[in-house]
Structure 1
Amino acid sequence: MQKVLIITYYWPPAGGPGVQRWLKFVKYFRYFDIEPIVYIPENPTYPMTDTTFVKDVPEDITIIKGAIFEPYAFANVFSKNKTKTISSGIISTKKQSVTEKVLLWIRGNLFIPDARKFWVKPSVTYLSEYIKENHIETIVTTGPPHSVHLIGMQLKEKIGVKWLADFRDPWTSIGYHSKLKLTKKSQRKHKELESKVLNNASAISVTSFTTKDEFSKLTNTPIAVITNGYDNEKVKNNKLNNNFTLSHIGSLLSGRNPKVLWSILKELCDTIDSFKNDLEITLAGKVSEEIIDSITKFGLTDNVVLKGYLSHEDALILQRESQVLLLLEINSEETKGIIPGKLFEYIISKRPILAIGPEEWDAARIISNTKTGNTFNYSEEQKIKETILAYYNLYKKNELFVTSTNVEVYSRKNLTQHMASLLKSL
């Protein structure tokens, strides 16, 4: 088998979508003659944890750890809630407190490319010897945090290993990057580091078509699109919710506030007698204050259920119990390449997806190809309203279902085969 060292910050018991991509690749690599070795931080500060992911870690896998200095742990002394929020990517668009402004400035300008930069030097020192002693020829770095890619770049320069740089999200073009209060010097430094990584990697993998297009303008390094996917997990066979449930699973950032949706739901509640009684808006995950304020403003508070963070298993159950699944993305050119990891679990839930996002959104292509729902731009208010009404009428007749197609291409095992082929070709 080919040995591959995977360098990742997020690993169980970390929660959220960031951990799942390489956890699932590791789970299936041996089917395709790849022997994975995983390098993770010894003492990380994760914004959320989910112990249910631990079951997917192969029992006899080699996992090595390196100590990391975590500025987020130090910042918690001053403002634990604000630190966790910024670490999770939720940046308020309202008037920010002095503490939040200071934390954002520090995060953006003193920790380049990110607050995990202090893991780079000790990791390169330790892994240089480990790689030589264990005859490893291929390494993978996955970001964010994009400082992990600096480990890969320095290892390639130092000992000549083949290096795949995997981008779960873009670097300088991601939405929150512009909110970090960067100076011109800091912005230039981010761009320089991004360019060095892209041009020194042996190959690059990305999760969306748009990210590939963006990176192709910055480098001639080969780029492969390997999306996230779904796993064939056993889920308790619960019945559909009796209410007309519109469920969103995952963080709802301030920029994703779908005011057009709240407006439509308010109008339908006011004009259809049964709609207000049947409607239930379920939000599972971190929800920003701006979202809550909007829901209150549109008079939908009584129809909302806030679940908080759910374990992965509970999230899968909620998806299958819901009548409609909401997929919401920021209305921006910067976000058209963002394909939320939950989309792939949505598409195998057998529930219709109502997606609202930017024009030419990559997620829309997948929803269309799999026939699992409908995608709209924020300006298409009438079409969104008509679709919700159509869903509601089918719900009232117990006929609200989807017949999907072309879904198997997104199974984790099939995607792992693609990734294994890429690694063997380096």
Structure 2
Amino acid sequence: MNEPKKRILLISCFFYPQNRIPVLRIGQWAKYWASQGHDVTVLTTKKYDFMGPFGLKEKLPKEVTVVEVPYLPAWLLKRIKKSGKQGQDTIPAETSKTEARSSTLHSKVRSLRNHIGSMLDIHDLWVAPAYKAGLRLLALDHYDVIVSSYSPPATHVVASKLKKKHPNIIWFADFRDLWVNNHITSAKGIFKLFEQAKERRTLHDRADAIITVSRPLAADLQSRHPTLPVWVIENGFDPQEFPTWVQSVSAGQQLNGTITICYAGTIYPNRRDPTPLFNAVNDLIDAKLISPNKVSIEFYGQNERELNEIIQRTRANRHNIIKIKGFVNRPASLEAQRKSNLLLLLESSEPGAKGMLTGKVFEYLVSGTPILAVGIDNTHAAGELLEKTGTGFCSTDTEELKKLLLAAIESNQFRFYRPRKDLIAKYSREKQAQSIIDRLRALQGAPSC
């Protein structure tokens, strides 16, 4: 039977053409909801130049309408543009000084975030104009559901205010990662009390359900919001972007005596830290168990300064095994992953990171390339997933990594790689988008398809 189409208001600060992993979860939900016959309106931030990198393109169905809302005051925008112009006009030596100052400022902001958490985010300026834009949309059309996706907190705050004004609309609050208890930007002391109060005030008596990406994150959210349903809808992959994934994971790999290791993502010193792998490879070379030309570790991403700091501190590139490729567009990143022999996944071993399950993991799953997760074990959501699907190996120990790499070079294969295609298929974005619609229909009292 034909079910009536739904009208969905999707609220996210991240959206195309930003080349950011969070865009994929939201953008692909929007695409598949539209392809399933629903109307989708995306309420998002105006994409200012400083919000890059850009270049992530997706041909969205005509049923997807994107509403970008400006939010920076004119004086601030003028100052940002002036700063950018000055940066373009500086000579190389001055540019280096500018980059150094920028890095210092970035480090100070990160340090501050370790105390204040999500408080005082620039996207807070977006709340008022986005709320007004949302009210205009709800006045023009009937919407069945609002889906807002964290981070930043502004998305949920806007959704909460709209729900208060229109209490009959259903609201699903999606958490790609945690607001309170975030393992990277977790507030401390009195700021944590403020953060907890803001999250509770935003969600309490307004959200109809919470969505998150893993069971550990779901347990954390449920403990703070015991009256709300909390659903796990993991990150996933787009089957249209990876049409030959079944063949890729079935093909198997031969190493031919060499290993190219690829990391595509963000580096966080002392959290997402590749040092154990660096130590393992260098120890093997120092012991003359492998030749330096047998191993190459390639990094794709924006955190070149942080990575260089780690390398210099540990003398990790004394054998010239580390190649820093910098930021590349998505097709180039996926091609690098496909050509590699081993994909590196980095995550923190601290308890607060046990529930982290980023979109990058699922991109790796369908690559057809074995995955090495450093810093975690199978008690972490990502480690459990890799073990369950037969696609990866987890380690926190340098000696264990040495044995793994040496055995792989000697046998020309990673013996742990036995992918379960039936389990991998469950993480299709298309199926996940349909799952949310089914839950919406259940709340509305209609049978699911």
TM-score by length of 2: 0.81
Classify 1:77/1:186 alpha carbon distance in 2 versus 1 (closer, same or farther; 3 Å). Answer: farther
Indicate whether 1:35 and 2:39 are aligned: yes
Of 12, 16, 21, 1:12 maps to: 16
State the SS of the aligned residue for 1:187. helix
Whether 1:2 aligns to 2:9 is no
> How far, CA to CA, are the matches of 1:99 and 1:363 in structure 2?
28
Q: Tell me the residue number matched to 2:387.
A: 368
- SS of 2:61's equivalent? coil
Cα deviation 1:53-89 (Å, max 9, x = unaligned): 32342245222222212769856867999xxxxxxxx
Q: Name the CA distance, whole Å, in 1 between partners of 2:128 and 2:221.
A: 26
Change (3 A) 1:402 1:36: same
**Counterpart residue identity of residue 186, structure 1:** F
Among 207, 214, 224, the alignment partner of 2:213 is 207
In the other structure, the counterpart of 1:130 is: 137
Of 229, 234, 237, the residue aligned with 1:230 is: 237
1:349 aligned partner = 367
Task: Verify: 1:325 aligned to 2:343, yes or no.
Answer: yes
CA offsets 1:135-160 (integer angstroms, 9 cap, x no match) = 11311111101111000101111121
Please tell me whether the aligned partners of residues 393 and 416 of structure 2 are also in contact (alpha carbons under 8 angstroms).
Answer: no
Aligned residues: 404
In 1: Cα distance, 2:306 partner to 2:132 partner? 45
Tell me whether 1:252 sits opposite 2:267 in the alignment. Answer: yes
1:102 and 1:279 mapped to 2: Cα distance?
Answer: 36
Q: How much has 1:332 moved relative to structure 2?
A: 1.0
Structure 1: gaps spanning 5 or more residues:
82-95
Map 1:59-78 onto structure 2 (within 5 A): 59-69=62-72
Please report how far the alpha carbon of residue 292 of structure 1 lies from its aligned counterpart in structure 2 after TM superposition. Answer: 2.2
- Tell me whether 58-67 or 317-326 shows the greater mean CA deviation: 58-67
- Which one-letter code corresponds to 1:201 in the other structure? A
Q: 1:171 aligns with which of 158, 162, 179?
A: 179
Deviation at residue 102 of structure 1 after TM alignment:
6.5
Q: Deviations over 1:257-293 (max 9, x none)?
A: 2322211111111223543111100001123545324
Displacement of 1:106: 8.8
Q: 1:122 to 1:335 in 2, by over 3 A?
A: same
Query: TM-score when scaled to structure 1?
Result: 0.85
Deviations 1:302-347 (A, max 9, x none): 1111111121111111111001111111221111111121111111
Which residue in 2 is equivalent to 1:120? 127
Task: Supply the AA of the counterpart residue of 1:307.
Answer: K
- 8 A Cα contact 1:143 1:169, kept in partner: yes
Q: For 1:25, give the aligned amino acid.
A: W
Aligned mates of 2:191, 2:414 — CA distance in 1: 54
Q: SS in structure 2 opposite 1:55? A: coil
8 Å contact kept, 1:7–1:38: yes
Q: 1:422 aligns with which of 439, 444, 449?
A: 439
Taking a change above 3 Å as real, the CA distance of residues 175 and 78 of structure 1, as seen in their structure-2 partners, is farther
Aligned partners of 2:110 and 2:350: how far apart in 1?
25
Which digits, 9 at most, give the CA deviation of each residue in 1:328-384, with x for residues without a partner? 1122111111112111111111111111234521001110111002112x2x33322
- Cα separation, 2, equivalents of 1:110 and 1:353: 31
Q: 1:278 to 1:224 in 2, by over 3 A?
A: same
> Contact 2:8–2:39 (CA<8 Å) still a contact in 1?
yes
Using the alignment, how far apart are the partners of 1:72 and 1:272 within structure 2? 56
1:280 aligned partner, one-letter code: S
Q: Determine the C-alpha separation between the residues in 1 that align with 2:118 and 2:392.
A: 41
Whole-angstrom distance in 1 between the partners of 2:113 and 2:52:
22
Residue aligning to 2:91 = none
1:309 aligns with 2:327: yes
Quick check: 1:164–1:202 contact (8 Å CA) kept in 2? yes
SS for the counterpart of 1:36 is strand
CA RMSD of superposed structures (Å): 3.1
Q: 1:47 to 1:122 in 2, by over 3 A?
A: closer
Q: Distance in 2 between matches of 1:152 and 1:253?
A: 31
Match of 2:201 in 1: 196
Kept in 2: contact 1:40–1:65 (CA 8 A): yes
Q: Whole-Å Cα distance in 2 between the matches of residues 234 and 99 of structure 1?
A: 35
CA, structure 1 residues 272+103, in 2 after alignment: closer, same or farther (shift >3 Å)?
A: closer
Tell me, in whole angstroms, the C-alpha distance in 2 between the residues paired with 1:166 and 1:385: 39
Distance 1:250 1:300, change over 3 A: farther
SS at 1:204 equivalent:
strand
SS at match of 1:116: helix
Deviations 1:211-248 (A, max 9, x none): 101011001211111111112325899x9887411111
Give, as a single letter, the amino acid of the residue that structure 2 aligns with 1:6: L
3-state SS of 2:9 partner? strand
Q: Which residue of 1 aligns with 2:100?
A: none
Decide whether the 8 Å contact of 2:43 with 2:130 is kept in 1: no
SS of match in other structure, 2:173: strand
> Residues 383-402 of structure 1 correspond to what in structure 2 (within 5 A)?
383-395=400-412, 402=417
Deviations 1:161-190 (Å, cap 9, x if unpaired)? 211111111112122324xxx674433221
